[in-house]
Structure 1
Amino acid sequence: MKDRSQGFDLARLLEERGAERYELHTRHLNHQLPRMLHTLGFDKVYERAEGAYFWDADGNEYLDMLAGFGVMGLGRHHPVVRRALHDVLDASTADLTRFDCQPLPGLLAEKLLAHSPHLDRVFFGNSGTEAVETALKFARYATGKPRILYCDHAFHGLTTGSLSVNGEKGFRDGFAPLLPDTAIALGDLDALRRELKRGDVAGLVVEPIQGKGVHTSPPGFLREAQELLHRHKAVLIVDEVQTGLGRTGDFYAYQHEEGGEPDLLCVAKALSGGYVPVGATLGKDWIFKRVYSSMDRVLVHSASFGSNAQAMAAGLAVLAVMEEEETVANARRTGDLLRERLAALVGRYELLHEVRGRGLMIGIEFGRPSSLRLRSRWAMLQAARKGLFAQMVVVPLLQKHRILTQVSGDHLEVIKLIPPLVIGEPEVDRFVTAFTAVMDDAHSGGGLMWDFGRTLVKQAVANR
């Protein structure tokens, strides 16, 4: 076959215009993103990445404790996943004909279901928010009821359906009307009982560990919630888009306790190793059979790129690597070490309030200090905008120590650590050493950190 792409040279294009990256984004995409990155000093030029590390244009090495918001579970450019993608492209499969049944989706579904043996079928989409949208649709159709319950501070995606069960007001403002919904507090079984008595609830969607703030559901909540839901002919939807695939030290976060098995389970992010957009909704047989109840309804819910060969091959490779390299066990072991070493610092620093989480999903929360000197500075930040102190910690971690982290949510004084699951003790040592240095600087009451805090205060006040 004649190669018709000779006029396109990607390497040359990037070489010629790669330096325009921030200008192009400002001009053609979200103009506020480059502005925000410049304000924080995050406007780096990363040129290469491997495993848990980046390298910038000057050859400086950065430790990634963010994993692309959890997408890079195996780190960047894992050779096994990379090879699988090359192999599937070279195979020239008859992909996405839509009128056949290719083997790769079935094989990946089989592998995923082996980790949740009480579930029976899988729908493949292209993202976490699509996985949640699928679960919402399936729950409403299968139960014949309209209303979905969710938890305060939950994050399930930003498309209209998933936004309807988003517990953060800032994401929802201006996008109404949304689906009929009701929020309850995470763990509030009495509120769940009250809502279920109304008879119109299709299901409850819940993260076993909330990404915003890194709050773990109380012990026994999922089990008791499932029992209540089933009693009222409603379903339990567990969103494991961020917590699944080993992140918390078990394959799925709901598996840390007996019971509480979901009727519908959402996964995405790390399933393709960060290479290809992918999402999956796992569910019970009776739910799928009600949705796809006849041949006339065979396409009643589908996705144009769902089950594509690249995503399926990447998913199979990721699961094979996780088994071969014992990724889940490493996440548990390394996460326990990191959490214990950080928790040991709580009594040492008055601004450090709590360290929590499971596996390699860890939240570091800051709080009001006891000493008058630091208390006045803390009050200044809180008056301008809650969450500024956490941002003050994230910035020097990157600028001085070349470690990429994130604030866990808007107006939250919490840093969330969700590094690639392949990190080990050397990365734990590096992070704890850097974090200790930043805390020392913050508690000294002076220096560049508080100078930057004043800059953030001015910015916050200007944006009001």
Structure 2
Amino acid sequence: MTLFELYERHINPGLAGLLRFTGLDKVESHAEGVYVWDTEGKRYLDFLGLYGTLSLGHRHPRVVAAVKAQLERMPMSVRVLISEPTTRLAARLAELAPRGLSMVYFGNSGAEGVEAALKFARFYTGKPGFITTEGGYHGKTLGALSVTPREPYQQPARPLLPGVTVVPFGDAKAIEEAIGPDTAAVIVEPIQGEGGIRVPPEGYLREVRRITQEKGVLLIADEVQTGLGRTGRFWAVDWEGVEPDILVSAKALGGGVMPISATLCRPEILSIYKSEPLIHSSTFGGNPLAAAAALVALQVIEEENLPQRALEQGQYLLAGLAQVQRAYPEFIQEVRGRGLMVGLEFSDADIGAVVVAELASRGVLTAFGLNNPKVVRLEPPLIVEKSHIDQALEALSEALKATQLAFEGVL
């Protein structure tokens, strides 16, 4: 039995079928920088970047070295003594965070970070309700799923958290009208990722911040995918100078080597720790290996000015994609994004799926949005060069030409 067949039998048969359809029924072998190789020796240009995780590329040498060094010292904390890398990471994040976010809780994933944010909001306000947005994606654990309004994911897990109100994304007035006496917090992505790389109208976040402050409601910024330079600013909320009450970071925080999340809060929100220090905790959250990776990842992001690089390379990518769109207007409805967080919305999800498969056959990895399968997202490492972008654009043009032939007489 092949390794892929073992995966299909023992892990996820449905995903295995999807991978087979897209021509990705392969086994990954190794990776470096912007490239991945399978066990058959084929090289792929990674324009998915583990859904925005690999901002520094695969196996960044400084991050790998930091993890190796920490592994030789102490890979896991005993938890009854203080971990040096974990503590130094918390202090550094507090320095880099929007003003006022000086307390940090560490988890292992974006969903864990969101779970913590929801609990902290309830602890602090004593209220149960949350407002989230259509198309928003905050994770698939039970609490995070409750504020991720996608019916196919939610329905089999019901009942979810009560008191969640869903409003249109980009509509600050709808948030204002939805806030009630039981609302603890509003949770929002500065740019929706899985919702299809949706950029809200200018001023939206500022208005949401004003409304939540006036109403005495917390604002949770989910920067799991948008943070750490991805959109051309260190945090995506920086585009509008917004200072949330809670900010969730993950994905790229581990430097593409270790999983870690950080839930950053104003100190008063975590005042409950003074009387109940173990009310929310994680055995592996912020472990020394992950913290060592994150510390160096933050250094690399700053020293190599990756936010500015994301902005410049993103403008180049968007300009190239606009040219491709003009050549295939019947397929591509819209090109949008900010920095190196870019989406192509196709006229039909099936067309997008075929394009993903055709790109894979040409050695370029992409994927569609989990909350919007009509959108193929492009989130390459922030170290990507223009030559890599040119390679991806050429592959996309060829993929669209092949898709056009496949759908000839159908559309």
Q: Does the alignment pair 1:318 with 2:300?
A: no
Q: Give TM-score, length-normalised by structure 1.
A: 0.84
Q: Does the alignment pair 1:362 with 2:342?
A: yes
What residue is the counterpart of 1:439 in the other structure? 400
- Could you give the per-residue CA deviations for residues 263-294 of structure 1, whole angstroms, max 9, x where no partner exists? 000000111122222111001011111x3141
The one of 338, 346, 350 equivalent to 2:317 is 338
C-alpha distance in structure 1 between counterparts of 2:267 and 2:141, whole Å: 26
Q: Look up the equivalent residue of 1:186 and give its one-letter code.
A: F
Q: Does the alignment pair 1:63 with 2:36?
A: no
- Kindly name which structure, 1 or 2, has the bigger radius of gyration based on alpha carbons: 1
**Cα distance, 1:308 vs structure 2:** 0.8
**Cα distance, 1:410 vs structure 2:** 5.2
**Cα distance, 1:251 vs structure 2:** 0.8
**Cα distance, 1:123 vs structure 2:** 0.5
Q: Look up the equivalent residue of 1:100 and give its one-letter code.
A: L
C-alpha distance in structure 2 between counterparts of 1:167 and 1:257, whole Å: 26
C-alpha distance in structure 1 between counterparts of 2:283 and 2:53, whole Å: 22
C-alpha distance in structure 2 between counterparts of 1:357 and 1:411, whole Å: 15
Q: Does the alignment pair 1:131 with 2:113?
A: yes
**Cα distance, 1:51 vs structure 2:** 0.7
Counterpart contact for 1:202–1:235, Cα < 8 Å: yes
Number of aligned residues: 407
**Cα distance, 1:411 vs structure 2:** 5.4
CA 1:92–1:407: 2 relative to 1, 3 Å: closer
C-alpha distance in structure 2 between counterparts of 1:66 and 1:152, whole Å: 23
Structure 1 residue runs of 5 or longer lacking an equivalent are: 1-18, 368-385, 458-464
**Cα distance, 1:218 vs structure 2:** 1.8
Counterpart contact for 1:396–1:438, Cα < 8 Å: yes
C-alpha distance in structure 1 between counterparts of 2:309 and 2:91, whole Å: 24
Q: Look up the equivalent residue of 1:450 and give its one-letter code.
A: F
What residue is the counterpart of 1:105 in the other structure? 86
**Cα distance, 1:432 vs structure 2:** 1.1
Q: Does the alignment pair 1:396 with 2:361?
A: no
Q: Does the alignment pair 1:182 with 2:165?
A: yes
What residue is the counterpart of 2:130 in the other structure? 148
CA 1:250–1:121: 2 relative to 1, 3 Å: same
SS in 2 for 1:313: helix
C-alpha distance in structure 2 between counterparts of 1:35 and 1:342, whole Å: 29
Q: Look up the equivalent residue of 1:304 and give its one-letter code.
A: T
C-alpha distance in structure 2 between counterparts of 1:88 and 1:409, whole Å: 35
What residue is the counterpart of 2:29 in the other structure? 47
**Cα distance, 1:32 vs structure 2:** 2.0
Q: Does the alignment pair 1:165 with 2:165?
A: no
Counterpart contact for 2:190–2:226, Cα < 8 Å: yes
**Cα distance, 1:117 vs structure 2:** 4.3
- Could you give the per-residue CA deviations for residues 136-170 of structure 1, whole angstroms, max 9, x where no partner exists? 01111111111010000100000000000002212
Counterpart contact for 1:331–1:359, Cα < 8 Å: yes
SS in 1 for 2:324: coil
Counterpart contact for 1:278–1:311, Cα < 8 Å: yes
The one of 256, 262, 276 equivalent to 1:274 is 256
What residue is the counterpart of 2:77 in the other structure? 96
Q: Does the alignment pair 1:230 with 2:213?
A: yes
What residue is the counterpart of 2:97 in the other structure? 116
**Cα distance, 1:347 vs structure 2:** 2.8
Q: Does the alignment pair 1:288 with 2:267?
A: no
Structure 2 residue runs of 5 or longer lacking an equivalent are: none
C-alpha distance in structure 2 between counterparts of 1:113 and 1:218, whole Å: 29
SS in 1 for 2:5: helix
SS in 1 for 2:263: strand
Counterpart contact for 1:138–1:287, Cα < 8 Å: yes
Q: Look up the equivalent residue of 2:383 and give its one-letter code.
A: V
What residue is the counterpart of 2:277 in the other structure? 298
- Could you give the per-residue CA deviations for residues 430-458 of structure 1, whole angstroms, max 9, x where no partner exists? 01111122233344xx3xx338x98xx9x
Q: Look up the equivalent residue of 1:250 and give its one-letter code.
A: R
- Could you give the per-residue CA deviations for residues 407-442 of structure 1, whole angstroms, max 9, x where no partner exists? 123553211001111101011110111112223334
What residue is the counterpart of 1:424 in the other structure? 385
Q: Give TM-score, length-normalised by structure 2.
A: 0.95
SS in 2 for 1:134: helix
The one of 163, 173, 177 equivalent to 1:194 is 177
- Flag the structure with more relative contact order, 1 or 2, with Cα contacts below 8 A and sequence separation at least 6: 2
Counterpart contact for 1:73–1:274, Cα < 8 Å: yes
**Cα distance, 1:100 vs structure 2:** 1.9
Counterpart contact for 2:19–2:25, Cα < 8 Å: yes
C-alpha distance in structure 2 between counterparts of 1:272 and 1:324, whole Å: 16
Counterpart contact for 1:199–1:232, Cα < 8 Å: no
C-alpha distance in structure 1 between counterparts of 2:344 and 2:70, whole Å: 41
C-alpha distance in structure 2 between counterparts of 1:92 and 1:142, whole Å: 35
What residue is the counterpart of 1:12 in the other structure? none
Identical columns (%) = 40
